[in-house]
Amino acid sequence: MGLFSKKTGSQQLVVKNLNDLARKKTTEQVVYSALITRCFNEIMVRKGIDEVFTLTDATNITVALLATVNEDYGEIPPEFKAACDLSLAIVAPSKIEKIKYIKSAVGVAGGVAGIGMILGALASVLGWGAGVLAAIKTFFVGVALGGPIALGVGGLTIAGIATYFAFSKTDNATLAQKFKEALVKQTEKAVETTWNKYKH
| Identity of the residue numbered 148 | P
The DSSP output letter for 156 is -
The set of residues, in sequence order, having a beta carbon less than 8 Å from that of 131 and lying 6+ positions away, is none
Dihedral sign computed on CA atoms, order 159, 126, 173, 103: negative
Question: Lowest-pLDDT range, 8-12, 81-85, 159-163, 174-178?
Answer: 8-12
Predicted confidence at residue 187, as pLDDT, reads: 97
Cα R_g (the chain), whole angstroms: 19
**Residues with Cβ within 8 Å of residue 117, at least 6 apart in sequence:** 189, 192, 193
Q: Phi and psi of 74, rounded to 5°?
A: 85, 0
Using one digit for the tens of pLDDT, what is the confidence trace for 118-136? 999 999 999 999 999 988 8
154-193 confidence digits (pLDDT tens):
446 778 888 888 887 789 999 999 999 999 999 999 999 9
Q: Is the pLDDT of residue 97 over 70?
A: yes
Tell me which residue of 144, 139, 138 sits closest to 159, measured CA to CA. Answer: 139
Percent of the chain whose predicted confidence (pLDDT) is above 90: 56
Domain locations along the chain: 10-199
Q: Residue count of the chain, please give it.
A: 200
pLDDT greater than 80 at residue 2: no
Would you place residue 137 in the very low, low, confident or very high pLDDT band (cuts 50, 70, 90)?
Answer: confident
Full-model pTM:
0.83
Q: What is the pLDDT of residue 12?
A: 52
